[in-house]
Amino acid sequence: MALRLGDEAPNFTAQTTEGTVNFHEWLGTGWGILFSHPKDFTPVCTTELGAMAKITNEFKKRNVKVLAISVDPLDAHKGWIKDINETQNANVNFPMIADPERKVAMLYDMIHPNALDNMTVRSVFIIGPDKKVKLMLTYPASCGRNF
């Protein structure tokens, strides 16, 4: 069954650039933004994550945690963070989920069924303190976002 507004956000445990995260525990009593990107080390994804890194402190002031995800492995994420920080004059200060087996991506319907590859589409989910989905946005992998 597809994830819908008002549904409880699926819980998961995943490896991130900041250690293992149990999503619901990590959210605690605050709000959360879970967003996906198609591929590490690509120009549009690099600018998107750089832009998010520059505004993450504004979210923190409002008790909102930010979590990124793609199907790339953890080592790729860690190397890419250095690249983002250098090229975007930013400091990536939020965890990135490594989901090479696509388990979390499938829970949140981030893999387009007609795509020729298995990359995640560009999705954004806002999760409330009650762990319910408050907003869902999905863009094709070919379309960048402006946070």
User: What is the spatial distance between Cα 105 and Cα 11, in angstroms, rounded to a whole number?
Assistant: 12
**Mean pLDDT, rounded, for 121-130:** 94
Q: In the chain, pLDDT over 90 holds for what percent of residues?
A: 76
Q: What is the pLDDT of residues 69-110, one digit of tens each?
A: 999 999 999 999 999 999 999 999 999 999 999 999 999 998
Token digits of residue 67: 């979590």
- pLDDT bin (cut points 50, 70, 90) of residue 128 is very high
Token digits of residue 97: 């989920």
What secondary structure letter does DSSP report for 54?
Answer: H
Could you tell me where the DSSP H helices lie in 1-73?
23-27, 43-61
Cα–Cα distances (Å) from 18 to 24, 67, 75, 134, in that order, read 16, 10, 12, 25
Token digits of residue 81: 């963070």
Q: Is the pTM of this model over 0.75?
A: yes
Per-domain residue ranges of the chain: 13-139
**Which residue numbers are catalytic?**
45
Q: What is the pLDDT of residues 16-66, one digit of tens each?
A: 999 999 999 999 999 999 999 988 888 889 999 999 999 999 999 999 999
Span 13-139 CATH architecture: 3-Layer(aba) Sandwich (3.40)
